[in-house]
């Protein structure tokens, strides 16, 4: 039996505003986002989010027996960032720790891993950290990414519970679309040359290099519209529920245009649907827990509510799950 006991999040201090008159800005619904400092990493943001969990006294550091860190912005190729976080947070050396490289579906994958660890009696209290700093990979001239992605981190405490509040899961993967959201250069397949990554001129006439984040926006949109509804329908079948049985829906906060298109396709009431990225942008693996916490604080998600979560994006990867809110 498992439940989410606490969620906290953290943004860098530097806030950047998009041009409010820009047509793309209006379409995606993102007016500003937070950008990490030059010497600030996803690991740093994750630590600050985690410290907020401990400061409110819901759990002691020595009680954490597994740490999961989801990021695509690690400090190093090796060692594992989670090991560094364990030491910096002062967690027990008997605490398990691992990274997993996943983006927009990562929070739901992390919930599944945490639930598995707890239900198999390998852990009692799991700290799931989700953090990314995509800004370090973005070409400022590329409006398909520079207007969209913000930096941020979330810390989610998952614990053993008398009630099973984390329900069924549905997963999906299609690696044939990997090239539609990718950084080509910088790892083993295509290392950065000693004189820097190869520069080229993109379709908009901007000079880029292969270390920049590349996104084929139309293809990613088509993927989401094709796979996310099917994932939701599969989850409904697994849970023996209908759309109307859920009190609220929190999807990966990709952008306003995509979210509204999915909501209409699934015929979800606008008053039961979260859109929580206008001031912070798409924070990749951290969007769902940030939106969850904000909707709880706003009183839209209440104790006892049944929530449907859906994550989708880079990979291509997607996942959905059912969640019962237990605020006690």
> Residue 144: in which H helix or E strand, if any?
helix 143-146
- DSSP code per residue over 253-283: ---HHHHHHHHHHHT--GGGB----TTT-B-
Active site residue 125: no
Biggest CA-to-CA distance, the chain: 58
- DSSP code per residue over 294-312: HHHHTTSS-TT-EEEEEEE
- Residue 264 CA to its chain's centroid (Å): 22
Token pair in block for residue 289: 């827990």
According to DSSP, the residues that pair with 3 across neighbouring strands are 159
- CB under 8 Å to 12, separation ≥6 — which residues? 34, 35, 36, 37, 40, 45, 151, 152
Active site residue 252: yes
Among 125, 139, 255, 282, the one annotated catalytic: 282
Among 104, 165, 280, 321, the one annotated catalytic: 104
Among 18, 125, 252, 255, the one annotated catalytic: 252
Bridge-based pairing of strands 207-209 and 199-201 is antiparallel
Q: Which residue has the tokens 């400090």?
A: 75
- CB under 8 Å to 245, separation ≥6 — which residues? 239, 306
Bridge-based pairing of strands 152-160 and 2-10 is antiparallel
CB distance 129 to 72 below 8 Å: no
- Secondary structure in 3-state letters for 72-123: CCCCCCCCCHHHHHHHHHCCCCCCEEEEECCCCCHHHHHHHHHHHHHHCCCC
Active site residues: 104, 252, 282
């Amino acid at each position: 039996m498992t439940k989410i006991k606490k969620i906290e999040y953290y943004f860098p201090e530097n806030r950047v505003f998009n041009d409010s008159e820009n047509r793309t800005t209006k379409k995606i619904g993102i007016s500003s986002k937070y950008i990490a400092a030059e010497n600030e990493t996803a690991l740093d943001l994750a630590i600050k989010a985690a410290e907020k969990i401990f400061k409110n006294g819901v759990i002691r550091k020595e009680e954490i027996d597994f740490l999961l860190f989801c990021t695509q912005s690690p400090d190093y190729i090796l060692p594992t960032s989670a090991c560094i976080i364990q030491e910096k947070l002062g967690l027990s050396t008997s605490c398990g720790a691992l990274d997993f490289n996943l983006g927009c579906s990562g929070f739901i994958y992390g919930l599944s891993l945490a639930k598995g660890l707890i239900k198999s009696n390998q852990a009692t209290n799991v700290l799931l950290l989700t953090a990314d700093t995509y800004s370090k990979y973005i070409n400022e001239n590329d409006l398909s990414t520079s207007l969209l992605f913000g930096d941020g981190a979330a810390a989610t405490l998952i614990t053993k519970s008398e009630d099973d509040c984390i329900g069924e899961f549905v997963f999906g993967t299609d690696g044939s679309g990997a090239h539609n959201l990718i950084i080509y250069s910088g790892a083993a397949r295509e290392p950065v040359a000693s004189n820097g990554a190869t520069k080229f001129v993109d379709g908009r006439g901007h000079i880029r290099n292969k270390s920049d984040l590349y996104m084929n926006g139309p293809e990613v949109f088509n993927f989401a519209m094709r796979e996310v509804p099917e994932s939701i329908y599969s989850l409904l079948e697994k849970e023996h529920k209908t759309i109307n049985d859920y009190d609220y829906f929190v999807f990966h906060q990709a952008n306003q245009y995509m979210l509204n298109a999915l909501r209409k396709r699934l015929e979800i009431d606008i008053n039961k649907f979260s859109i929580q990225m206008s001031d912070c942008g798409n924070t990749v693996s951290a969007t769902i827990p940030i939106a969850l916490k904000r909707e709880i604080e706003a009183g839209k998600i209440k104790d006892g509510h049944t929530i449907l979560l859906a994550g989708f994006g880079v990979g291509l990867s997607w996942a959905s799950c059912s969640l019962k809110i237990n605020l006690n």
